[in-house]
Amino acid sequence: MITGFLFSGRLALQQRVLPSYRVPFFDMLGTACDRGLSLFAGLPRAEEEIVNGKLKNADFAAAKNIHIFHDPFYLCYQRGLIQWLERWNPDALIVEANPRYLSTPSAVRWMHTRGRKVIGWGLGVPPLSGAFNGLRQRRRVQFLNQFDALICYSRRGAGEYAALGFPREKIFVAPNAVSARPLFPIPLRPSTFMGKPVILFVGRLQARKRVDDLLCACAEIDLKPRLIIVGDGAEREHLEMLAKQVYPSAEFIGAKHGAELKAYFMEADLFVLPGTGGLAVQEAMSHGLPIIVARGDGTQDDLVRESNGWQIPPDDPNALLRAIRTALSDVARLRRMGAESYRIVSEEINLEKMVETFIRALNSLAS
């Protein structure tokens, strides 16, 4: 329960899919809704490799996702959306603010016809490039203006929404969180490396994660760090073959989850995610680790800062190498940055703070 932060009504929340990493957030949000939460979501495409989750503290309604075309022209229509709204009869609705989801406008109309509020939840709207920019920009503005408020993952996203004319006072920033605030003290690490420094990667072994760049970077570092790679996926065999050629000491641990990961976080001196994505960043920070992460859609902007890590350009092996060299060149600074990581996830960016922002946005509309 989030003490002091409650929504007194019945909440409905639409998602394209329900990934397992989002379950703790939705369950926590459900406990903060006095009359309950119902979530509507369908199944992902097979190639997305998304693990479906199961809710404990919220009602779940299964959507029939109809996937149309592929990136960059992907669209999705969700059957059963209006029937779900009629059954749940919510006081407020939160939907993904993504114009590719074709059934969303009908849900917004259903709510507004009954005098009820709708909040859009999205990443932001990065600048457009290419043909028909003017038309696409007007379509964006029209799409966003149907919402009564917006929740976004980062201050960058909030600025993008505001730049399109959406009222700033109706934009709420809920930094993307997948972990609760740590309940344990920050781990104590020695003031010097105990032998070789330890670099840790945790994640799916996919091409976009750029673990190949990490292997090559470690091969160029004089300290020859111990590299621990936790995870599994389609690229594992390729990466193990590459490691034999460029960095034979790399350790491929395989997939680990939950309590199994703790020992690896405790051993590490530095956490590195050279590609896009990165659900393990917050868990690494809760164990007092500084972070190197590739710059992406803005969801990491407020999490990884100059005070606790490095954001590098994606697909830039030289930038990755420079960041690792800089990180390992000063142990005392590395430990201070790890302490700042722990403070950020303890005080600023965690599931509790994310839920508080959602409840604040809902209550602002009720008032």
- In this structure, the strands spanning 75-79 and 64-68 are antiparallel
pLDDT of 257 reads 87
Does residue 70 share a domain with residue 18? Answer: yes
Does residue 225 share a domain with residue 76? Answer: no
Length of the chain in terms of residues written: 367
Residue 38 lies in a domain: yes
d(CA 157, CA 96): 14
User: Is a pLDDT exceeding 80 seen at residue 1?
Assistant: no
pLDDT of 132 reads 67
Residue 184, number of CB atoms within 10 A of its CB: 9
Q: Which amino acid is at 115?
A: G
Q: What is the mean pLDDT of residues 343-348?
A: 96
Does residue 253 share a domain with residue 153? Answer: no
Greater pLDDT, 315 or 102: 102
Q: What is the pLDDT of residues 111-164, one digit of tens each?
A: 999 999 999 999 998 776 666 677 778 888 999 999 999 999 999 999 999 999
Does residue 33 share a domain with residue 139? Answer: yes
Does residue 126 share a domain with residue 206? Answer: no
d(CA 210, CA 189): 28
3-state SS track over 25-78: HHHHHHHCECCCEEEEEECCCHHHCCCECCCCCCEEEECEEEEECCCCCCEEEE
Greater pLDDT, 128 or 220: 220
Q: What is the CATH number of the domain that holds 279?
A: 3.40.50.2000
User: Is a pLDDT exceeding 70 seen at residue 24?
Assistant: yes
d(CA 29, CA 37): 8
What's this model's pTM, rounded to 2 decimal places? 0.90
Residue 191 lies in a domain: no
Compute the mean pLDDT over every residue in the chain, rounded to the nearest whole number: 93
Quickly state the pLDDT bin for 194 (edges 50, 70, 90): confident
d(CA 131, CA 55): 42
189 burial level (CB within 10 Å; 0-12, 13-18, 19+): buried
User: Is a pLDDT exceeding 60 seen at residue 108?
Assistant: yes
Does residue 149 share a domain with residue 220? Answer: no
User: Is a pLDDT exceeding 60 seen at residue 85?
Assistant: yes
pLDDT of 367 reads 67
